[in-house]
Amino acid sequence: MPLPAWIAIGLLLVVLVVVGLGALRLRAIAHRVGSFECSARPAGAEQASWSLGIAHYGVGRIDWWRCWSLSLRPARSWRRQDLVIVSRRPVEAPERDLFLVECSYEGMRFELLMSSGAYAGLASWLEAAPPGRRGVVV
């Protein structure tokens, strides 16, 4: 076989391995107990694209991973005591019941797009914070 054919086969194998690892990572994150689909973008940037992701409840924090990444670490982490829901509103979407949730974390505002069930879980998780941390859910 000529050298260009071997190079093409090698590149194809590398691409298949990367795609396979990405799929395994995504499956592992999505199948954890306490994980939910959640897209994110900066607040007030209606023209900005959504970053698809999966959020996961941890002990005292929420970790958020991008869907299209190979990183084993979350792209963002929000501690429960510093995360505040500023507002929420339903989004008209066919076949889905979605909420646009504006949040504040350490002075930075961002928006999350999630299902109504995921929002209910997030609001409950914040309300279940230890005493002295009430009044942060809209």
> Tens of pLDDT along 56-84?
998 889 999 999 888 889 999 999 989 99
Phi first, then psi: give them for residue 121, nearest 5 degrees: -65, -45
Model pLDDT for residues 35-57, shown as the tens digit of each residue: 999 999 998 778 889 999 999 99
CA 69/CA 102 separation, integer angstroms: 24
Amino acid (one-letter) located at 129: A
Q: What percent of the chain has pLDDT over 90?
A: 60
The mean of the pLDDT values for the chain is 89
pTM, rounded to two decimals: 0.81
Euclidean distance between CA atoms 46 and 76, whole angstroms: 20
